[in-house]
């Protein structure tokens, strides 16, 4: 087999269609300048995952998500953060906080996360996502690669932190339907991992999550 003219001067050429002829589907053929060929298997490729961080406002979702992404970046693992606040400034800007709007917000975030996961990313979402049913629906998108992370701190701890001053406003009645104050939060019943952010530092939480993520990736190394 000779390489197509347009590629003749390339140093090496990879022809996927050749894998069908080789009888070894999934193999790539490298054709050197001298016309010699050799077969090689596709590289090991880690499957992507969805890490779904859920918890009260102020529990630490965004903090942990960003720290985890930095750790994954440093290790060469593609990762992205889909943060509820950022999504609400753009793709979810048309949504409010009624139950149906929260469901739609979670649905959209889940669909985006699934696309990233399919491209090999660890997609880390940081949304309050207060309803079990909404989170459950996202799980069904990629059941074997969805990991629910309960970023857990009691309401009084979150309220004392109040990093955005939202609890103060909600208690003053300025924010209707505020989760934990005037709207429900349904904690996960069987999350893959719980991070107790009242007892652990953010670094300790990220260490635990990294341990989980390493195992999760190791379990699902695939080839393609």
Ligand X SMILES: Nc1ncnc2c1ncn2[C@@H]1O[C@H](COP(=O)(O)OP(=O)(O)OP(=O)(O)O)[C@@H](O)[C@H]1O
Contact 21, 13 (CB under 8 A): no
Tell me: does residue 129 bind Mg ion (CB under 5 A).
no
Please give the structure tokens belonging to residue 157.
């701890």
Q: Which residue's Cβ lies closest to ligand X?
A: 60
What is the layout of strands, in order, in the sheet containing 193-196? 79-83, 122-126, 49-54, 146-152, 193-196
Binding mask 119-148 for ligand X (x = CB under 6 A): -------x-x--------------------
Shortest spacing between CB 205 and ligand X, in angstroms: 5
Specify the residue, 57 or 77, whose C-beta has the smaller distance to Mg ion: 57
| Positions in 7-36 near ligand X (CB under 6 A) | none
In b/e form, how buried is each residue of 100-121, taking b as 16+ CB within 10 angstroms?
A: eebbbbbeebbebbbebbeebb
Contact 157, 55 (CB under 8 A): no
* Residues involved in catalysis: 129
Tell me: does residue 61 bind ligand X (CB under 6 A).
yes
Q: Contact with ligand X (CB under 6 A): which of 27, 200, 210, 217?
A: 200
In whole angstroms, what is the distance from residue 219 CA to residue 33 CA?
39
Q: Contact with ligand X (CB under 6 A): which of 32, 42, 96, 163?
A: 163
**Size, binding site for Mg ion by CB under 5 A:** 2
Contact 129, 107 (CB under 8 A): no
Q: What are the backbone angles phi and psi of residue 81, rounded to the nearest 5°?
A: -115, 130
Q: Contact with Mg ion (CB under 5 A): which of 54, 62, 92, 129?
A: 62
Proportion of the chain in helix, strand, coil states, percent, rounded to 5? 40, 20, 40
Specify the residue, 93 or 218, whose C-beta has the smaller distance to ligand X: 93
Q: Contact with ligand X (CB under 6 A): which of 30, 103, 175, 202?
A: 202
Please give the structure tokens belonging to residue 217.
């990736």
Shortest spacing between CB 113 and ligand X, in angstroms: 16
Interaction site with Mg ion (CB under 5 A) = 61-62
Interaction site with ligand X (CB under 6 A) = 55, 57-64, 84-85, 126, 128, 151, 161, 163-164, 197, 200-202, 205
């Amino acid at each position: 087999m000779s390489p197509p003219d347009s590629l003749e001067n390339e140093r090496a050429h990879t022809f996927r269609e050749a894998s069908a002829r080789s009888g070894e589907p999934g193999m790539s053929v490298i054709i050197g300048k001298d016309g010699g060929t050799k077969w090689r298997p596709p590289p090991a490729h880690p499957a992507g995952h969805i890490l779904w961080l859920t918890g009260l406002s102020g529990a630490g979702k965004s903090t942990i998500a960003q720290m985890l992404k930095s750790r994954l970046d440093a290790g060469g693992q593609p990762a992205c953060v889909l943060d509820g606040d950022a999504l609400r400034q753009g793709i979810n800007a048309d949504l409010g906080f009624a139950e149906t709007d929260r469901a739609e917000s979670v649905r959209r975030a889940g669909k985006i996360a699934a696309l990233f996961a399919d491209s090999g990313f660890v997609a880390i979402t940081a949304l309050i996502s207060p309803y079990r049913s909404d989170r459950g629906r996202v799980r069904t998108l990629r059941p074997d690669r969805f990991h629910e992370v309960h970023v857990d701190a009691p309401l009084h701890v979150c309220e004392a932190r109040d990093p955005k001053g939202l609890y103060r406003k909600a208690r003053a009645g300025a924010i209707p339907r505020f989760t934990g104050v005037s709207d429900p939060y349904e904690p996960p019943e069987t999350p893959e991992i719980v991070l107790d952010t009242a007892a652990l530092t953010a670094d300790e939480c990220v260490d635990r999550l990294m341990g989980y993520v390493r195992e999760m990736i190791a379990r699902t190394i695939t080839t393609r």
